[in-house]
Copies of this chain bind each other. A is one copy, B any other.
Amino acid sequence: MTVQWLCYNRSETFRGEQAQHKSMARRHNIDGRPTIAQIARIAGVSVPTVSKVLNGRADVSLPTREKVERIIEEYGFVRNRAARALRKGKTGLVDLLLPRLDDEYYLPILEGVAQVLRDAGLRLVLTATDYKSEEEVRWIATVTDHSTDGILVMLPSERAIEQLERAGLPFVLIHNQGGLQAMAPSVRITSWEGGFVATTHLIRLGHRRIAYIGKTSPARDAIERIAGYRAALDAAGLPLMPELECDGDFTEASGYQATLRLLELPEPPTAIFAGNDRQAAGVYRALHERGLAVPDQMSVVGFDNLPYTEIMNPPLTTIHAPRLELGRTAATMLLRLINGEQLEMPRVVLPTHLVERQSCSPPRQQQE
C-alpha cells in the first residue's frame, strides 16, 4: 500500500486555539456551534452585517468588518451549509453515478471529475448502482431532491436519462450508450477508431489471422470496437473470419477461455486483439499455460491502458482510453451548465491512441 508522509504539524497551536474557543464559548454561553445570530450578538452588530462580511460585500465599514472577522476567527465560526443551500438554491454538491466501484477502469474518470470539482470549490457525491435498475431508480428519486447542483452519469440507462431530463437539473452523460437521447450533453471516446487502429497495427506487422475477443456485449463501446476491427480488416482487403470473433464479457476469465478455444482451432490466429486489457490478461494466462510466448508466438493488443498493463510481462501494447480527460471534460461541461451557460459542443468525443509496448511483433511465418 502506498503510505505516504502526511504533514504533521505541531499540535500545540491547535490545542491552544481549542482552549481559547472553549473559554470564549463559555463566556458567552454558547452551547454547540455558533450561528450567525450569536456571532452578531457578540460582535454587537446585526445578522445581515455578519452575513455581508462573510460574503465579502462592500457595504460594511472597515472597523466593523475587522471586528466581525475577529469574532468569527475567535469562535471558529463556520456557516451552516444547509441553511445556505436552502436560501441560495445551490448546494455546492455534484452527483456522480457509477455502475460500480470495484472496477479500476473508473478510477481515473473519478479522479478527473474530482480534480475539476475541487478547483471549482464543489464537492463530489458518489453513488454506485451495481448495475441494479432498482438502485438506479432509487438514486434517481433521491437525486432530484435538489441535494446537488448537477449530475454526472456514467453508462446511463435510457430510463435514467428520461428521469434526468424531467428533473430539470443540469447533467452530463459519460460513455453514453447512444440511442434515443442523441442530444443530451455527453462525453465519449473514439472506440471505433481505437478498434481500427489496434487492428491496423497488427495488420501492418504482417498478421493476417487476427482474432477479436468481446463480441457479445451489446454496449455501445463494445459494438464500436468490433466494428473498428472489422473495418480495419476490410480496409486491408482481408476477409472477416467469424471463427476468430470470440464471445467475451470483458473479464479476465472470458479472455482466458476465448484464447483456449482459439488455440484449439485447426488454424489458430497469429495475433489477438483482446477487446480490453482485462481480457488481454486472460489471454496472457492462457498462452502462458500453453507454453506460447508473447509476442514471438502470439501478438496481443489490449484496450483501455489500465495501469497494470505496464507491468505485465511483456508490457502490453494497448489502446489508450483517455479516462482522466473523460472525467475532466464531463465535469467542466457540467460546471458550465450549472452556471447557466450554453454548451457550444454538447457532445464531445475524446480521441484514443495506440500505446506501443512489447506484446506485438511480426508473425513467425506469414500466412499464405
**Chain A interface residues (CB < 8 Å from chain B):** 1-9, 11, 14-15, 17-18, 21, 32-33, 76, 78-83, 85-86, 91-93, 99, 101-105, 107-108, 110-111, 114, 118, 123-128, 131, 133, 135-136, 141-142, 144-147, 155-159, 162-163, 165-166, 168, 175, 177, 179-180, 217-222, 249-252, 276, 278, 281-282, 284-285, 288, 303-304, 307-308, 311-313, 321
Contact B82 A147 (CB under 8 A): yes
| Distance, CA A157 to CA B14, complexed state (A) | 13
28 residue pairs bridging A and B, Cβ less than 8 Å apart = A1-B276, A2-B276, A6-B136, A6-B156, A7-B131, A7-B133, A8-B179, A11-B158, A11-B159, A14-B166, A17-B166, A76-B166, A78-B146, A80-B146, A81-B146, A82-B82, A82-B91, A86-B86, A93-B93, A101-B107, A101-B111, A102-B107, A102-B108, A118-B127, A123-B126, A126-B126, A282-B311, A311-B312
Known: A91-B82, A158-B8. A124 touches B123 (CB 8 A): no
Contact B157 A7 (CB under 8 A): yes
Q: A101-B111, A313-B313 are in contact. List 7 more A-B contacts (CB 8 A).
A: A1-B105, A1-B250, A1-B303, A2-B276, A3-B222, A6-B177, A281-B311
**From A313, which residue of chain B is reached at the shortest CB distance?**
B313
Shortest beta-carbon distance from A132 to chain B in Å: 8
| Distance, CA A33 to CA B7, complexed state (A) | 46
Contact A82 B80 (CB under 8 A): no
Contact A18 B162 (CB under 8 A): yes
| Distance, CA A217 to CA B2, complexed state (A) | 9
Contacts of A17 in B (CB 8 A): 166
| Distance, CA A222 to CA B18, complexed state (A) | 32
Among all A-B residue pairs, the 7 with the closest Cβ atoms: A3-B219, A7-B133, A82-B85, A81-B147, A101-B111, A14-B162, A82-B86
Shortest beta-carbon distance from A101 to chain B in Å: 4
